[in-house]
Amino acid sequence: MRPPVRYAMSGDIEIAYQVLGEGPDVIWVAGWLTHLDVLWDHPGYRRFCEELASFSRLILFDKRGMGLSQRVRVGTLEERMDDVRAVLDAVGSEQAVLVGVSEGGPLSMLFAATHPERTQALVLVGAEVKEETTDDWPWGEATREEHEATMARVPELWGAGGRGSVLFFPDDPDAEASNSWFARLQTASATPQDAVAFMDMGMEIDVRDVAPSIRVPTLILHRVEDPVCHVEAARFLAANIPSARYVELPGSVHIPWASGGDDILDEIREFLTGAREAPEPSRVLATVLFTDIVGSTERATELGDRRWREALEAHHATIRRELERFRGREIDTAGDGFLANFDGPARAIRCAVAAVDAVRPLGLEIRAGVHTGECEIVGDKLAGVAVHIGARVAGKAGPGEVLVSRTVHDLVAGSGLRFDDRGEFKLKGVQGEWRLYAVSGGT
What single string gives the DSSP state of each residue in 282-319?
Answer: SEEEEEEEEEEETTHHHHHHHH-HHHHHHHHHHHHHHH
- Highest mean pLDDT among 156-165, 286-295, 370-379 belongs to 286-295
Q: Give the Å distances, CA to CA, from 400 to 207, 351, 355, 372.
A: 30, 13, 9, 21
Residue 358 has pLDDT above 60, yes or no: yes
Range scoring the smallest mean pLDDT among 33-37, 157-161, 179-183, 210-214: 157-161
- Output the pLDDT for position 399: 94
Asked whether the beta carbons of 101 and 233 are under 8 A apart, the reply is: no
Specify which residues 40 forms β-bridges with. none
Q: Which CATH architecture has domain 6-274?
A: 3-Layer(aba) Sandwich (3.40)
Distance CA 75, CA 83 (A): 10
Residue with more model confidence, 18 or 429: 18
- Output the pLDDT for position 278: 47
Q: Is 64 exposed, middle or buried (0-12, 13-18, 19+ CB in 10 A)?
A: buried
* Percent over 70 (pLDDT), the chain: 95
SS3 255: coil
- Output the pLDDT for position 346: 94
- Output the pLDDT for position 163: 59
Residue 438 has pLDDT above 60, yes or no: yes
* Percent over 90 (pLDDT), the chain: 71
How would residue 280 be classed by pLDDT, with cut points 50, 70 and 90? low
Residue with more model confidence, 323 or 429: 323
- Rounded to the nearest integer, the mean pLDDT of the chain is 91
Range scoring the smallest mean pLDDT among 119-128, 158-167, 267-276: 158-167
Asked whether the beta carbons of 140 and 206 are under 8 A apart, the reply is: no
Which whole number is the average pLDDT over 286-301?
91
Residue 1 has pLDDT above 90, yes or no: no
Asked whether the beta carbons of 154 and 192 are under 8 A apart, the reply is: yes
Q: In 204-295, which residue ranges form alpha helices assigned H by DSSP?
A: 231-240, 262-274
How would residue 432 be classed by pLDDT, with cut points 50, 70 and 90? confident
Distance CA 89, CA 262 (A): 30
54-84 pLDDT, tens per residue?
Answer: 899 999 999 999 999 999 988 788 889 999 9
- Output the pLDDT for position 336: 84
- Output the pLDDT for position 162: 57
Fold of 283-441: Alpha-Beta Plaits (3.30.70)
How would residue 426 be classed by pLDDT, with cut points 50, 70 and 90? very high
- The distance from CA 316 to its chain's CA centroid, rounded to whole angstroms, is 31
Question: Where exactly are the structural domains of the chain?
Answer: 6-274, 283-441
Q: Give the Å distances, CA to CA, from 379 to 119, 315, 341, 371, 376.
A: 20, 27, 14, 21, 10
Residue 298 has pLDDT above 70, yes or no: yes
Range scoring the smallest mean pLDDT among 123-127, 319-323, 411-415: 411-415
- Output the pLDDT for position 281: 59
Residue 276 has pLDDT above 50, yes or no: no
Asked whether the beta carbons of 432 and 95 are under 8 A apart, the reply is: no
Distance CA 103, CA 85 (A): 18
Same fold, 6-274 and 283-441: no
Which whole number is the average pLDDT over 162-185?
75
Asked whether the beta carbons of 368 and 403 are under 8 A apart, the reply is: yes
Q: Of 85, 110, 107, which is closest to residue 327 (Cα–Cα)?
A: 85
**Pairing assessment for the beta strands 381-383 and 366-378 based on DSSP bridges:** antiparallel
**Angle of the 262-274 helix axis to the 43-52 helix axis, nearest 10:** 20
Residue with more model confidence, 404 or 280: 404
83-117 pLDDT, tens per residue?
Answer: 999 999 999 999 999 999 999 999 999 999 999 99
Residue 428 has pLDDT above 50, yes or no: yes
